[in-house]
């Protein structure tokens, strides 16, 4: 594939993904309009823009549409594949996503390392999310370990290609997985590696995501004062250039922290802020969390320590 303005090969794709990582969604969308790429690829990448903006159903529909415009046995098929996996993950349709992956696993092995890595990354996120849903410790451990395997493979492939920006995704996801396994030392080690890379590369939204995740780690260790510092830093960045979902999610993390610190005034303001942001979105997870935190306020915050956001 070739693109205009001197971007050739696959470099244009990483330019596009970097724009998404920096929260420059409109710029990424405009870039796609000027590229000489197949229409199916363009639609698949527009799906990624929608997913980053929190429009998950629309992202899924566009991914399906793009799939009909491309042939399965060509490399271009990667684009609807990755868009479908991310949309299904966001929609909580984890088993459907894994079935899709099994159908194309052999095809994935023929793709360049960096694209294989992105598939492994998305599958790792799906296993991690499945683990959080399971009721028994044995089932949770099984899926978290599968997630670690996928993220380590993604990290290996990304390291071979010397892509630090991509490595940071794997490092942060390993941090989240180990956090879910209550291995806080390993989790913090991976988070700090991701934080350093994202700061150096100027990927503001991804940097803020890692800050928020470290805040979650301190919440899990009953350290709300330390958590508050990380949440506030992340919240500031998200309000500067994040999506409505980014801002609302971080506001709720900070609100939960304020509840633990018995600052119900600021907790209530943050909950209302989040509610205003997600009112017109499709994010049912955040809407549910808002309802739960509002109930905690009404019940004198008696159970707030049992309700950490993940």
pLDDT in tens, 257-281: 999 999 999 999 999 999 998 887 7
Task: Enumerate residue ranges in the chain where pLDDT < 50.
Answer: 1-8, 304-306
pLDDT for 302: 53
Of 288, 277, 297, the residue nearest 92 (C-alpha): 288
CA dihedral (243, 201, 5, 31) in degrees, to 10, reads -10
E-state strands within the chain:
none
Question: Counting Cβ atoms within 10 Å, is residue 257 exposed (0-12), middle (13-18) or buried (19+)?
Answer: buried
Express each pLDDT in 145-182 by its tens digit. Answer: 999 999 999 999 999 999 999 999 999 999 999 999 99
Helix axes 204-220, 244-260, angle to 10 degrees: 20
Domains located in the chain, CATH noted:
203-310 (1.25.40.10)
- The pair phi, psi for residue 2, each rounded to 5°, is -135, 150
């Amino acid at each position: 594939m070739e693109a205009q303005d001197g971007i050739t090969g696959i470099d244009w794709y990483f330019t596009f993904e970097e724009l998404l990582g920096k929260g420059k969604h409109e710029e990424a969308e405009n870039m796609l309009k000027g590229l000489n790429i197949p229409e199916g690829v363009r639609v698949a990448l527009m799906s990624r823009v929608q997913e980053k903006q929190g429009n998950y159903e629309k992202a899924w529909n566009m991914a399906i549409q793009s799939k009909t415009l491309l042939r399965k046995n060509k490399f271009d098929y990667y684009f609807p594949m990755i868009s479908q996996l991310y949309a299904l993950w966001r929609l909580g349709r984890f088993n459907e996503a894994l079935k899709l992956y099994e159908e194309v696993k052999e095809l994935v092995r023929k793709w360049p390392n960096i694209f294989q890595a992105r598939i492994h990354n998305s599958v790792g996120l799906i296993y991690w999310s499945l683990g959080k849903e399971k009721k028994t410790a044995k089932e949770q451990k099984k899926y978290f370990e599968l997630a670690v395997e996928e993220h380590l493979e993604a990290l290996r492939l990304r390291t071979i290609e010397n892509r630090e920006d991509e490595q940071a995704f794997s490092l942060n996801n390993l941090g989240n997985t180990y956090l879910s396994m209550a291995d806080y030392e390993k989790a913090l080690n991976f988070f700090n590696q991701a934080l350093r890379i994202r700061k150096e590369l100027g990927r503001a939204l991804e940097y803020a995501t890692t800050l928020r995740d470290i805040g979650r780690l301190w919440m899990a260790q009953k350290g709300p004062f330390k958590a508050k510092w990380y949440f506030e830093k992340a919240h500031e960045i998200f309000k500067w250039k994040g999506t409505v979902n980014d801002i609302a999610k971080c506001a709720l993390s900070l609100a939960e922290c304020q509840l633990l610190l018995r600052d119900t005034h600021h907790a209530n303001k943050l909950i209302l802020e989040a509610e205003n942001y997600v009112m017109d979105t499709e994010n049912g997870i955040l809407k549910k969390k808002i309802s739960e935190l509002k109930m905690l306020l009404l019940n004198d915050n008696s159970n707030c320590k049992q309700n950490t956001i993940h």
